[in-house]
Chains A and B, each alone.
Chain A
Amino acid sequence: MSKTAEQILSDELLIPQPKEPLAHPMEGYLRTDRLPHIWCSTCGIGTVITAFIAGLQKSGLERDKVGVVSGIGCSGRAAGYLQLDSFHSTHGRAIAFATGVALGNPDMKVAVISGDGDIAAIGGNHFIHAARRNMNLAIICINNFNYAMTGGQAGPTTPESANASTAPYGAYEYPFNLPFLAESSGAVYVARWTSLHVRRVTNAIAEALVKPGFSFIEVIAPCPTLYARRNRLGSGLDLMRFYHDNAVIDHNADTRDIDIEYQKKIVVGKFVDKEKPTFLENKDAVLSAKLGDKYIPYKGA
């Protein structure tokens, strides 16, 4: 049985304590035979993976019924370390692939963990259309403001004036405001946190996993090796301090107003949490009304 949002938020334990000592605190949820992982020291992605596992545990969902799909990039490697049905798809197509899994087995809850370039640039069309359909997916977009796997190029979220290897004199494109994009495309749950907000991210992931329909969580995360180094922002730890000093929690913020400017305040919070029938609920309703008893709903293979 999945838990209600109230139960998730009232659960104080971040990670349930195991009865027996484990080789790794998240043994059983991580592919320990694939460790060590590829991520750099003080990169924020690992924190999000920890929060994902903790959020999955808090959600009360049956683990076998949860799948994860990633695209390509540093965050795209997330699926490879999670001991779930996990799919490492092509660049930008994680949400499209996940749509196939979610429709192929409607009993599953499918999460997508991928980066800002994967989800908002090459995969931007799939992102807005899955949101429009209210497809039953939980999207966790780890935003480190650049293409890190390929060496720190500018992307659709790089703040104006920030330095990137393909913007060596400073970026001059307008970046996406992802929560606004998600909300205006139809998402029923929209939040933004930073990788400093571990408990918030964990709770958001748990909420997104149990929420029927299209949920979107943006997690701002440090890229110490490329984005921070090129911009002389220090280590990942320095960026965590920056988040501590500059992240402003405002659950009531209008998503139109929460653009991220270079090294300015970051508005975080749970901005949208509403109810709306999902793609499959709408399909069943329309076809049942039109076809009556002749309609045979798809039940999985």
Chain B
Amino acid sequence: MKADPIGVATGNHYIDGDHACAEGAIAGGCRFLAGYPITPSTEVAERMAERFPFVGGQFIQMEDELASMAAVAGAAWTGVKAMTVTSGPGFSLMMENLGLATMMEVPCVLVNVQRGGPSTGLPTLTGQGDMMQARWGSHGDYELISLCPNSPQECFDLTITAFNLAETYRVPVLFMMDECVGHMTEKVVIPEADEIEIIPRKFYQGKKEDYRPYQFKGDGSVGPMIKAGEGYNIHVTGLTHDERGYPVINAEAQDKNVRHLVDKILLNEEKIRIIEEDQVEDADVVVISYGITSRVALKAVQDARAKGLKVGTMRLITVWPFPEKRIHELRDKVKAFVVPEINLGQIVLEVERCVSGKAKTILVPHAGGWVHDPNDILNAIEEGAK
């Protein structure tokens, strides 16, 4: 279906990534936000608080991030598209109820505008150190989807995508911005509502007594949802459960339940995958990057190409699930993968795992607070091309 025009601020805007994310959420159908102020993500919640009264949205500033994520999970069961937004320590606090939302299979979006960590770290300066937390942050085994925009325009476009993916796979989607992208101001073009594709929630249509909150078919599919308050009398829990939602505490039920959470993402990895590639087919070196670092890496790639090096780029827009199969296709063709990231080595571990020693993998680390010097990335490309 197409976007509801009431939420689409069609036109040319000059706004930062945080504001663009808020507009993307509203255009994408989000009508519930529970959040808690934290730099550098607060502008998202501020814009939603300002805009929601005009579009019929429900905004609440909760007492903390634990409550924000819990409220989002609860609201999502009433049928509304719901989100929260946070940074740094707030992301850590949300891990508990992110696990609940994952276990309950509620579609929702969690925006994390990354800053330097650990702990309070660098509240106002950038980082990409939450990428493994996005993968493993809540306890137990599960798979989620994470998106990394690299511009305010993408903050708008991909927030819509995030809501669509959340509905398609009944899963929380992590929108992993970084402070640079969040606070960078650029032109953002918001199209007409009828040019924006929206995936609506899939609601159950059969007899009320036959409804099952979950379907564990083993084929990566998910069942439809209902709206609380319409007489389905569902039971859902954070405990390991069966398709009725009833707790079942044994190894067989655990296997069925957890494998379903993992399969519905991994079996659909190629459908979920959004990556941007340039000149990888005959490349000696492929630079893999995401978020703001992809824009810094571009300068290094241009300089390397000017020196005659055959350099390709792969930009991860979906970082999780990781494009494992794509790396497998490339690992025998290239000499090296260069991975710049604003942390001391996170996604590089995943690249190394997929490359399995069949090419060099070179990390270009940065502890955070600023972006890389493109020359550091250039040096790594030159080393990889040897």
Where the two chains meet, the residues of A that have a C-beta atom closer than 8 Å to any C-beta of B are 31, 33-34, 63-65, 67, 69, 79-80, 83-90, 92-93, 96-101, 103-105, 107-108, 125-126, 129, 279, 287, 291, 294-301
B227 within 8 Å of A by Cβ? Answer: yes
Whether the Cβ atoms of A93 and B70 lie closer than 8 Å is yes
On chain B, the residues within 8 Å of A34 by CB distance are 246
Please report the C-alpha to C-alpha distance between residue A177 and residue B228 in the assembled complex, in whole angstroms: 34
- For A94, the closest partner residue in chain B by CB is B70
Whether the Cβ atoms of B229 and A100 lie closer than 8 Å is no
B11 within 8 Å of A by Cβ? Answer: no
- For A86, the closest partner residue in chain B by CB is B235
Please report the C-alpha to C-alpha distance between residue A234 and residue B201 in the assembled complex, in whole angstroms: 54
B270 within 8 Å of A by Cβ? Answer: no
On chain A, the residues within 8 Å of B235 by CB distance are 31, 79-80, 86-88
Whether the Cβ atoms of B67 and A129 lie closer than 8 Å is yes
On chain B, the residues within 8 Å of A86 by CB distance are 233-236
B62 within 8 Å of A by Cβ? Answer: yes
Contact for A104 among B64, B68, B77, B247, CB less than 8 A: B77
B237 within 8 Å of A by Cβ? Answer: yes
Mark contacts of B232-245 with chain A using CB atoms, 8 A cut-off: 1 yes-contact digit, 0 otherwise: 11111111000000
Mark contacts of B71-103 with chain A using CB atoms, 8 A cut-off: 1 yes-contact digit, 0 otherwise: 111111111111000000000000011011000
Please report the C-alpha to C-alpha distance between residue A250 and residue B359 in the assembled complex, in whole angstroms: 79
Q: Known: A85-B232, A90-B97, A97-B70. Is A80-B58 also a contact (CB below 8 A)?
A: no
B317 within 8 Å of A by Cβ? Answer: no
Contact for B229 among A108, A294, A298, A299, CB less than 8 A: A108
CB distance from B138 to the nearest CB of A (A): 11
B19 within 8 Å of A by Cβ? Answer: no
**Pairs A-B, 9 closest by C-beta atoms:** A100-B74, A301-B79, A104-B78, A100-B71, A104-B75, A88-B237, A96-B67, A64-B231, A100-B75
CB distance from A223 to the nearest CB of B (A): 21
Whether the Cβ atoms of B67 and A84 lie closer than 8 Å is no
- For B52, the closest partner residue in chain A by CB is A298
Q: Known: A64-B231, A125-B63. Is A99-B71 also a contact (CB below 8 A)?
A: yes
Whether the Cβ atoms of A93 and B75 lie closer than 8 Å is no
CB distance from B103 to the nearest CB of A (A): 10
Task: List CB contacts (< 8 Å) of B2-51 with chain A.
Answer: 6, 31-32, 34
Please report the C-alpha to C-alpha distance between residue A105 and residue B75 in the assembled complex, in whole angstroms: 8
**For chain B, which range describes its interface: under 10, 10 to 19, 20 to 34, or 35 or more residues?**
35 or more
Q: Known: A64-B229, A85-B228, A104-B78. Is A99-B67 also a contact (CB below 8 A)?
A: yes
CB distance from B172 to the nearest CB of A (A): 14
Q: Known: A89-B238, A301-B78. Is A103-B71 also a contact (CB below 8 A)?
A: yes
Mark contacts of B91-120 with chain A using CB atoms, 8 A cut-off: 1 yes-contact digit, 0 otherwise: 000001101100000000000000000000
On chain A, the residues within 8 Å of B274 by CB distance are none
- For B232, the closest partner residue in chain A by CB is A85
On chain A, the residues within 8 Å of B231 by CB distance are 63-64
- For B99, the closest partner residue in chain A by CB is A90
The 16 sampled A-B contact pairs (Cβ below 8 Å) are A33-B246, A64-B233, A85-B228, A88-B239, A89-B73, A93-B70, A99-B62, A99-B70, A100-B72, A101-B78, A104-B75, A105-B228, A125-B63, A129-B62, A295-B53, A298-B57
B230 within 8 Å of A by Cβ? Answer: yes
Task: List CB contacts (< 8 Å) of B263-309 with chain A.
Answer: none
On chain A, the residues within 8 Å of B70 by CB distance are 89-90, 93, 96-97, 99-100, 126
CB distance from B77 to the nearest CB of A (A): 6
Whether the Cβ atoms of A104 and B56 lie closer than 8 Å is no
Please report the C-alpha to C-alpha distance between residue A237 and residue B81 in the assembled complex, in whole angstroms: 49
CB distance from B293 to the nearest CB of A (A): 34
On chain A, the residues within 8 Å of B66 by CB distance are 92-93, 96, 126
Whether the Cβ atoms of B74 and A101 lie closer than 8 Å is yes
Please report the C-alpha to C-alpha distance between residue A92 and residue B64 in the assembled complex, in whole angstroms: 13
Please report the C-alpha to C-alpha distance between residue A228 and residue B47 in the assembled complex, in whole angstroms: 54
Please report the C-alpha to C-alpha distance between residue A100 and residue B67 in the assembled complex, in whole angstroms: 9
Please report the C-alpha to C-alpha distance between residue A100 and residue B66 in the assembled complex, in whole angstroms: 12
On chain A, the residues within 8 Å of B64 by CB distance are 125
B60 within 8 Å of A by Cβ? Answer: yes
Please report the C-alpha to C-alpha distance between residue A89 and residue B69 in the assembled complex, in whole angstroms: 12
Please report the C-alpha to C-alpha distance between residue A177 and residue B247 in the assembled complex, in whole angstroms: 33
- Which of B34, B71, B75 has the most chain A CB atoms closer than 10 A to its own CB? B71
CB distance from B86 to the nearest CB of A (A): 15
Whether the Cβ atoms of A98 and B74 lie closer than 8 Å is yes
Q: Known: A34-B246, A126-B63, A129-B67. Is A85-B80 also a contact (CB below 8 A)?
A: no
- Which of B55, B58, B74, B78 has the most chain A CB atoms closer than 10 A to its own CB? B74
Q: Known: A287-B53, A294-B54, A301-B80. Is A93-B67 also a contact (CB below 8 A)?
A: yes
Please report the C-alpha to C-alpha distance between residue A58 and residue B32 in the assembled complex, in whole angstroms: 33
On chain B, the residues within 8 Å of A295 by CB distance are 53-54
Q: Known: A96-B66, A97-B71, A126-B63. Is A299-B78 also a contact (CB below 8 A)?
A: no
Please report the C-alpha to C-alpha distance between residue A250 and residue B43 in the assembled complex, in whole angstroms: 50
- Which of A80, A93, A100, A296 has the most chain B CB atoms closer than 10 A to its own CB? A100
